[in-house]
């Protein structure tokens, strides 16, 4: 039998396990020209929360599979471009087994990196850190870089690329274990636990006495208000995401920061990683070289078993991951 995970109801606020349903079906029969794939690693990502709401375009449909980046093995191939035993990555359904005509699938191997790395450090999250920090953040030696969501998949890589670029790097994360990890494993110069720090604005001022030149923002909300308050003239903000708002049921109202943008000549730019698609080969090859040289390292939180998908996804909003959250099927 095959398991497929459907969206059963649109989450209201924080997603619940009951918003999802695992359906048991027969393993699909492979037809001419198609591939039968078996999922090995499934990526759970904060942006999927948006696709579970009706307002996102296009949203996931109710009683249809959720989908994301998946590493799979070809079990049977009637498509001449692939052979049984190939490993592939693509945007696929949350299913143990599925058919594909091969469109959008790329072959990967585990010679240069583990297969799961293609969902993290060598995938969308590593590439987001690489392109957004270098292209939008424009870090220079001697700059002070602050990264929010610093112990997550994007943040942990962005901070290390900041170090490679010669910056002093400060991370913001939600537990003492994470702030320790940022310093001991990822080489951050200092870190702030936003959940135990009553005045984040003062804490940033204390660890960044010369102000902040680059802000890599994964979380938005009050953390970003505090960092923006501490930016220097001509500072750059790479806006990667706003996870602190993804479960909001009402629009948050914060301080009006635009006068600061004028006064301090700030540059704020958002991006979607797909904007850099024509440069992915360059990004993967640089990230791979840094991994091989020992200049870059990464963490993964791997939850075991297809049935863990809802918990792994909900866990992103509760900070249960260090580095990339992945489900091993
Ligand atoms: P991640 O950081 O690995 O996981 C999410 C982390 O967010 C959690 O571990 C948690 O860590 C933190 N978090 C959850 N709720 C929070 C809150 N209310 N306030 C502050 N922190 C909170 O996820 P990721 O895949 O690397 O994604 C990071 C951000 O980048 C997300 O906003 C995502 O949407 C965005 N993103 C954007 C693009 C793009 O193309 N623009 C591509 C990839 C990702 P703590 O324990 O520290 O709270």
**Domain spans, the chain:** 2-117+299-328, 124-274
Of 247, 261, 202, 255, whose CA–CA distance to 225 is shortest?
A: 255
CB atoms within 10 A of CB 324: 28
Q: What is the pLDDT of residue 32?
A: 84
> For ligand 1, what atom is nearest to the CA of residue 275?
40
Of 94, 79, 87, whose CA–CA distance to 31 is shortest?
A: 79
pTM of the model: 0.98
Q: Tell me the CA–centroid distance for residue 286 and ligand 1, in Å.
A: 23
Multiple choice CATH, 2-117+299-328, 3.90.180.10, 3.30.565.40, 3.40.50.10860, 3.40.50.970: 3.90.180.10
Q: What is the pLDDT of residue 209?
A: 97
Ligand 1 lined by 329 (C-beta under 6 Å): no
Can you state the angle between helices 221-229 and 200-207, rounded to 10 degrees? 40
Q: What is the pLDDT of residue 57?
A: 81
**Is the pLDDT score of 55 beyond 90?**
no
User: How far from the centroid of its chain's Cα atoms is residue 317's Cα?
Assistant: 12
Q: Whose CA is nearest to atom 32 of ligand 1?
A: 241
Instruction: Choose one of 14, 222, 241, 249 to mutate for the ligand 1 pocket test, by most ligand atoms within 8 angstroms of C-beta.
Output: 241
Where are the strands (E) in the chain, listed by range? 2-7, 20-25, 35-43, 67-77, 87-93, 97-100, 106-108, 144-148, 168-173, 190-193, 212-217, 231-239, 267-270, 300-304, 324-328
Instruction: Choose one of 153, 175, 243 to mutate for the ligand 1 pocket test, by most ligand atoms within 8 angstroms of C-beta.
Output: 243
Q: What is the pLDDT of residue 56?
A: 81
Q: What is the mean pLDDT of residues 152-178?
A: 98
State the distance between the two ends of the chain, measured CA to CA, in whole angstroms.
Answer: 14
Answer for the pair 86, 73: CB distance below 8 angstroms, yes or no.
yes
Answer for the pair 22, 307: CB distance below 8 angstroms, yes or no.
yes
CB atoms within 10 A of CB 205: 15
Indicate the pLDDT class of residue 31, thresholds 50, 70 and 90: confident
At the topology level, CATH places domain 124-274 in Rossmann fold (3.40.50)
Ligand 1 lined by 165 (C-beta under 6 Å): no
């Amino acid at each position: 039998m095959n398991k497929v995970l459907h969206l059963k109801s649109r989450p209201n606020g924080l997603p619940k396990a009951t918003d999802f349903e695992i359906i048991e079906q027969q393993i699909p029969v492979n037809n001419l020209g198609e591939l039968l794939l078996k999922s090995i690693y499934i990526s759970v990502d904060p942006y999927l929360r948006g696709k579970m709401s009706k307002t996102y375009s296009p949203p996931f449909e109710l009683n249809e599979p959720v989908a994301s980046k998946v590493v799979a093995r070809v079990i049977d191939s009637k498509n001449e471009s692939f052979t049984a035993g190939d490993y592939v990555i693509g945007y696929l359904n949350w299913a143990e087994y599925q058919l594909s005509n091969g469109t959008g699938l790329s072959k990967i191997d585990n010679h240069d990196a583990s297969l799961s790395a293609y969902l993290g450090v060598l995938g969308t999250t590593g590439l987001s850190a690489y392109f957004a920090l270098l292209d939008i953040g424009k870090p220079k030696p001697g700059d002070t870089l602050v990264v929010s969501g610093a112990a997550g998949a994007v943040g942990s890589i962005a901070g290390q690329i900041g170090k490679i670029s010669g910056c002093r790097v400060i991370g913001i994360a939600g537990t003492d274990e994470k702030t320790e990890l940022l310093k001991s494993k990822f080489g951050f110069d200092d870190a702030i636990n936003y959940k135990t720090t009553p005045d984040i604005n003062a804490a940033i001022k204390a660890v960044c006495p010369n102000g902040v030149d680059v802000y890599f923002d994964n979380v938005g909300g009050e953390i970003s208000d505090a960092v923006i308050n501490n930016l220097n003239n001509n500072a750059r903000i790479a806006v990667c995401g706003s996870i602190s708002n993804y479960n909001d049921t009402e629009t948050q109202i914060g301080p009006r920061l635009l006068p600061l943008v004028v006064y301090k000549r700030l540059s704020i730019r958002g991006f979607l990683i797909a904007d850099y698609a024509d440069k992915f080969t360059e990004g993967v090859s640089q990230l791979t070289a840094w991994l091989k040289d020992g200049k870059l390292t990464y963490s993964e939180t791997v939850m075991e078993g297809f049935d863990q998908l809802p918990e792994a996804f909900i866990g992103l909003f509760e900070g249960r991951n260090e580095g990339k959250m992945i489900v091993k099927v």
